[in-house]
Chain A
Amino acid sequence: MSNILAVANKELRSYFGSPIAYAVLGFFAFAFDFMFWVFLRGFIEQSARMGGQMGMGMQPVNINQMMVRPLVMQISVIVLFMLPMVTMRTYSEEKRSGTIELLLTAPLTDLEIILGKFLGALGLYAAMLAVTLPCMLMLFAYGNPDWQPVATSYLGLFLLGASFIAIGLFISSTTQNQIVAGVLTFVLLLMLLLAAWLRDFVTGPWALNVLSAFAIFEHLDDFTKGVVDTKHVAYYLSLITFGLFLTARSVDGERWRG
């Protein structure tokens, strides 16, 4: 465990020792705040219009349904854009600079290295989610949203991001070039996003099932409604495990090829 933490700590240090962490955090905060503002304006306008039309006695407009949910879905797309930048260098940079030789000859297991890197990237992602909290807390200060859907949304986003990181880690372990790793990860994640859209155009249970398995964003939907379904949690956890497993295979295969 201390080995995993040592690697995770080093990963975090290297994110924050380079401009990457600040660029990612800064851009993510900007994108989130911008969308927050857009959705908030839309929400205020709509609630004012509805309040004017319906008068008293109407069910008050639901801030969770009308604002938090679509916001979280938009943010998940921003996460898709950002996380390849976080994971692209994890393995490829070590391979290019030769530091991988230090890790692989240290008394560490492959799993400890992989989990360390995974945790490190997850730490940066947690920081990304943390910078969105002030805006969310503002909603609670000036409005009265239900806290459960907000909390589960964050849980969903966290699991979604963790899956992206596991996939990114694997792709980074297959190349020495971090740009290639970043672009490939981005393309792959984008295809997962498109898989959900494609479902409207296919027929037949088989094709639908396959596309559902790839529709990584679909599984976020229930979280935004405040529902934590084990089905979705298991989906993300198995995706994470699969990504880390592929990484382990890739690192081990690299060893044999030399």
Chain B
Amino acid sequence: MIEVQHLTKQYGRFTAVDDVSFRVDKGEILGFLGPNGAGKTTTMRILTGYMPATSGKAVIAGFDIFDQPIEAKRRIGYLPETPPLYTDMTVRDYLLFVGRIRGVGSKALRAQVDTAMEKARVADVANRHCGKLSKGYRQRVGLAQAILHNPEVLILDEPTAGLDPKQIMETRDLIKGLAGSHTIVLSTHILPEVAQTCERVVIINKGKVAAVDTPAALTERIQASQTIYVQVDAPSGTDVAAAIGGVPGVTRVTPVEQHGTLASFEVDCHKGEDRRREVARLVVTRDWGLVELRPSRLSLEEVFLQLTTDETASAAPPAQTPDAAA
């Protein structure tokens, strides 16, 4: 449904998007993840035809966004980073205008505006001015605007920004409900959102695609070793780290915190070998207090950090190439 090939965008000498390629299948939700300034918004702006790319190709629903922009744009619903609202128009008038310029026929227009307001839960502010709305409502009017003409492709730049937790959940449900009939690309900086909403994730950093995979596979792939978190109450002076380091299968012990006699450590073991039992036995036989012992799993957040910070990125296993993922 969306095919992006070797997209590059340069501003003067600065390369904002560097040879980005990925694919989104029909009905799929793709998450776009990356630190600020990674090129997420720029990529989305290119996909929606707001700005041209320096080189590369983007095909939306079979139409090249550069060669057939009008046809491609007809099939896209786009929510920019800041909802593009006319502050002096009422919500209904605004949506009617958006419907008109998106080519919704005048017969279907009112019904479709009502449906979109219903779906985005903004029907209660239909007659209020956009400029008088709270951040949460603005965001949802922006969403209503994007889904109004029932587009095949939805491109949402941080759709949950500025919403309260309840609204975030509702919006996620709405987006999930739209998948299947719509193909969705959304960007976010909230990582759990990606894990909960998206089927596949593109991690983008410094304009380059760092990884493309499912959230679960990404988490798994990045873990080169098994890590245990352990907190021990040992008399001061004892070298707990060295003792744990002596357990077979343990590769590295990193002290985390020390509060009086309480000391906690991150214990790395070989991949696939869980050494919790051995560590527990050691602590008990030494007559120390075992305060806490749990597997420490890399969250998506840490995966993200690993993939987007220079020092660890090279140590991480080579990311699946976008072409292979597609």
Determine the distance from Cα of A97 to Cα of B100 in the docked complex, in whole angstroms: 21
Q: Which residues of chain B are within 8 angstroms of A106 by Cβ–Cβ distance?
A: 73, 98, 101-102
C-beta contact mask, A94-119 vs B, less than 8 Å → 1, else 0?
A: 00011111111111110000000000
- Residue ID in chain B nearest A104 by CB atoms: B50
Contacts of A104 in B (CB 8 A): 49-50
Contact partner, B80, options A14, A98, A108, Cβ 8 Å: A98
Task: Check B234 for interface membership: any CB of A closer than 8 A.
Answer: no
Which of chain B's residues 72-106 have a Cβ closer than 8 Å to chain A? 73-74, 76, 78, 80-82, 84-89, 93, 97-98, 100-103
Residues of B within 8 A of A10 (CB): 86, 89, 97
Known: A6-B101, A101-B80, A102-B98. A107 touches B70 (CB 8 A): yes
Which residues of A have CB within 8 Å of B245? none
Per the bound structure, the CA–CA distance linking A235 and B239 in Å amounts to: 93
Contact, CB under 8 Å: A2 / B84: no
Give the complex CA separation of A100 and B51 in angstroms: 12
Convert A9-20 into 0s and 1s, putting 1 for each residue whose CB lies closer than 8 angstroms to a CB of B. Answer: 110011001100
Interface residues of B in 86-129 (CB under 8 A from A): 86-89, 93, 97-98, 100-103
CB distance from A93 to the nearest CB of B (A): 9
Q: Does B145 contact A (CB under 8 A)?
A: yes
* A7 adjacent to B84 (CB under 8 Å): no
Q: Is the CB of B101 within 8 A of A17?
A: no
Tell me which residues across on chain A come within 8 A of B52, comparing CB atoms.
255-256
A257 at the interface (CB under 8 A from B): yes
Q: Is there an interface contact between B88 and A14, defined as CB atoms closer than 8 Å?
A: yes
CA distance A105 to B102 in the complex (A): 9
Are A101 and B11 in contact (CB-based, < 8 A)?
no
Contact between A98 and B82, CB atoms less than 8 A apart: yes
Q: What's the Cα separation between A7 and B74 when bound, in Å?
A: 17
Q: Which residues of B contact A (CB under 8 A)?
A: 9, 11, 42, 45, 48-52, 69-71, 73-74, 76, 78, 80-82, 84-89, 93, 97-98, 100-103, 145
